Amino acid sequence: MQIPITQQLVEKKYNEYHTRINDALGKCFDTESPVTLYAPARYILEGKGKRIRPFLTLLASESVCGSSEEALKVALAVEILHNFTLIHDDIMDQAELRHGRPTVHKQWNTNAAILTGDMMIAYAYDLALQAKSNRHGELIHILNHANITICEGQALDMELEEKQDATIDDYLDMIAKKTGRLISAALEAGGVAGDATKEQLDNLVLFGEKIGRAFQIQDDYLDIMADDGKSGKMAGGDVINGKKTYLLLRSLELTKGKERDLLNSVIENKGISPERVPEIKSIYAACGVLDETAALINQHTEEALSAVDQLPYAEGREYLKGFANILMKRDF
C-alpha cells in the first residue's frame, strides 16, 4: 500500500538528499594544485546552495525506475554545471557577494574565476560519463544543450536590459533559456540515468519547463507583493532596479495614458525611487495583472503536475509533485 506523500515527508527526503548531494560534492575537486584552479571550485560548492536541480535529477530517476543510485553522478554533474554558470554570471554582473560570502572573482580574481568555471564544465561532463549507463551519448547531449541554451539565455538577458520595446515573448524566451532549461535538463538527465522511455522523458521535460516558468513568474510576483523584512527582499526591488519582469511588461500591454507613461519611465530611467513603488503596485492591481499573474502561476503549476501523472513509479512521481508544490509555496 502506497503511503501518502505529505509535505513533511517531502521535506524530510529533501533534507536527507541535500546532505547526500553535499557529501558527494565535497569529494569533488580534491586535487590541490594548481590551487587557484581547484580551490575556487571547492569554494563555490561550499556555499549555501539549495541543490534543487540535483534533487530533481534524483527524483526523476526514482519516478521512472524506482531508484536513484545510478543517477547520483549525473545529479552532481548538473549541480556543478549550475555552479559554473553562477561563477561566470557573478563576473558579468560585477557581483561582490553570493550567499553572504565574496564571489569567486572577488575572493581570487577574474582570471581565476573564468578558468575555474571553464574547468567545471569539463568536470561535469566527466562525472556524467562515470554514471553506470549505456546512454552516455544522450547524457552529454542533454548537458551540452543545456549549457548552450543557458548561454543564449544570458545573452538574451543582456540584450533585454537595453531593449526599450521588449515584449512578453522576449521575456518568456529569456527565462526559458536562462533558468528553465537547466531545470528541465536536470529532470531529463535523471530520466536517462533511470533508463526512461522517450514518452517518459518528454513528460519530465514538460514538467521541468512548466514548473520553471511558474517559478520564475512567481519570483516576479512575490517581489512586488513582498512584506519588507519577511522575505529577505525589499518590496518592489525589481521595479526600483528597473528590471523588466512579467508584471511590468504585461501591464504595459494593458494600460494607457499616465499609467503607461509611468510604467515606461521605469524602463527608460532604469528604475524608480522606492517611495513610488506603491504607485506601480496600484497600477498592477487596477489593470488586473496581479490576479492574472497569480492565475497563470497556478495554471503552469497544474500543467506541470499533470505531466508526470503517467510516470511508472508512484513514490518518485509523488515526491516530484510534492517538491513542486513546496517550490510554488502551495499546500498539498
∠ CA 248-252-253, nearest 5°, is 120
Would you report the helix, strand and coil content of the chain in percent, each value rounded to 5? 75, 0, 25
Rounded to whole angstroms, the maximal C-alpha distance in the chain is: 62
The cell numbers describing 279, all together, are: 504607485
The cell numbers describing 213, all together, are: 516558468
pLDDT for res 157: 94
Detail the DSSP E strand segments found in the chain.
97-98, 101-102
pLDDT for res 229: 44
Are 186 and 139 a contacting pair, CB within 8 Å?
Answer: no
pTM tops 0.75? yes
Are 244 and 168 a contacting pair, CB within 8 Å?
Answer: no
pLDDT tens, the chain, 332 aa long: 466 889 999 999 999 999 999 999 999 999 999 999 999 999 999 998 999 999 999 999 999 999 999 999 999 999 999 999 999 999 999 999 998 999 999 999 999 999 999 999 999 999 999 999 999 999 999 999 999 999 999 999 999 999 989 999 999 999 999 999 999 999 999 999 999 999 999 999 999 999 999 999 999 999 999 775 444 556 899 999 999 999 999 999 999 999 999 999 999 999 999 999 999 999 999 999 999 999 999 999 999 999 999 999 999 999 999 999 999 987 76
The conformation of residue 194, written as its DSSP 8-state character, comes to T
The conformation of residue 101, written as its DSSP 8-state character, comes to E
User: What whole-number distance in Å separates Cα of residue 184 and Cα of residue 57?
Assistant: 9
Specify the fold of 7-327: Farnesyl Diphosphate Synthase (1.10.600)
pLDDT for res 331: 73
Q: Where are the domains of the chain?
A: 7-327
The conformation of residue 195, written as its DSSP 8-state character, comes to T
Query: Considering just the CA atoms, what is the radius of gyration of the chain in Å?
Result: 21
Q: Which residues contact 158 (CB under 8 A, 6 or more apart)?
A: 92
User: What whole-number distance in Å separates Cα of residue 86 and Cα of residue 83?
Assistant: 5
Alpha helices in 163-194 (DSSP H): 168-175, 181-193
The cell numbers describing 278, all together, are: 506603491
Between the alpha carbon of residue 103 and those of residues 21, 34, 48, 60, 108, the distances in Å are 22, 19, 13, 31, 9
User: What whole-number distance in Å separates Cα of residue 132 and Cα of residue 250?
Assistant: 46
Omega prior to 34 cis, within 30 of 0: yes
| Coil, strand or helix at 82 | helix
pLDDT for res 233: 55
